[in-house]
Amino acid sequence: MSGHYKQVQLDRSMKKMFDEIDDFLEDKYGDSFPLHPNRAKRGKTSNKESDGLFNVGVSFSAGYGSKYGRGYVVDIKLSTLSNVDQQLKEEITRETISLIGEKLKVYFPNRNLDVVKDRHVYKIVGDFALGETY
């Protein structure tokens, strides 16, 4: 599948950013809970989304019904069968959202992007323009 060059660049930068955030969370919380039995240990796959306690990333939303419109919905998953205290989940979420806010400026310095709470989810919104297509 091919795509617009700038979309491919944006996707790659987004992946690198979330891999860095995943590393931070794994370093801080990775030993807090046993992994789900079907989940590979950290570093055992070629993709951070597929191993370790955390899978942090985004999925695009067209933004219908949202006051912010289109954007990328943040998804934070812990791969464990253990009960995770709600207060700890909220702490991890706050920390992750804060990191995203910091890292957006590093990974996307020429775009006006922000992370906002949109109803029950957090979403990255702002300038996703790809420019001219030929």
Which residues sit opposite 123 in a β-bridge?
73, 116
pLDDT in 10s for each residue of the chain, 134 residues: 457 888 889 999 999 999 999 999 999 999 999 999 999 999 999 999 999 999 999 999 999 989 999 999 999 999 999 999 999 999 999 999 999 999 999 999 999 999 999 999 999 999 988 876 55
Q: Per-domain residue ranges for the chain?
A: 5-126
Q: How far apart are CA 42 and CA 40, in angstroms?
A: 6
